[in-house]
């Protein structure tokens, strides 16, 4: 599974990091999401899906 964040949409809420901390880090300056693991390991796919659902801006995209 591949993951990406649309930084034009991301508002730095940080919910993705709380949902999947191994997959998403947050930029120290503006709080925007930084993908750490792409492709996402199988063991973390469920957390990544949770992050997609939780993102208030719908900024995260998953693809196979
Ligand atoms: S939850 Fe969404 S808007 Fe917030 S930092 Fe993560 S990707 Fe960006």
Domain ranges in the chain are 2-63
Q: Give the mean pLDDT of the chain.
A: 97
Q: Is domain 2-63 classified as CATH 3.40.50.150?
A: no
Q: Is 59 left (phi over 0), alpha (psi -120 to 50) or beta?
A: alpha
Whole-number pLDDT of residue 16: 98
Report pLDDT digits (tens) over 9-23: 999 999 999 999 999
Average pLDDT of span 35-54: 98
* Residue 45: band (very low, low, confident or very high) from pLDDT cuts 50, 70, 90: very high
**Which residues approach ligand 1 with their CB closer than 6 A?**
5, 10-16, 32-33, 55, 57, 59-60
Q: Which atom of ligand 1 is nearest to the CA of 51?
A: 1
Compute the distance from residue 19 Cα to the ligand 1 centre, in Å. 10
Q: Which atom of ligand 1 is nearest to the CA of 33?
A: 5
Compute the distance from residue 46 Cα to the ligand 1 centre, in Å. 17
CA contacts within 13 A on the Cβ side of 39: 7
């Amino acid at each position: 599974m591949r993951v990406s964040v649309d930084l034009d949409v991301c508002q730095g809420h940080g919910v993705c990091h709380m949902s999947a901390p191994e997959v998403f880090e947050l930029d120290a300056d503006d709080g925007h999401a930084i993908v750490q693991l792409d492709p996402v390991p199988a063991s973390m796919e469920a957390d990544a899906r949770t992050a997609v659902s939780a993102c208030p801006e719908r900024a995260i995209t998953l693809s196979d």
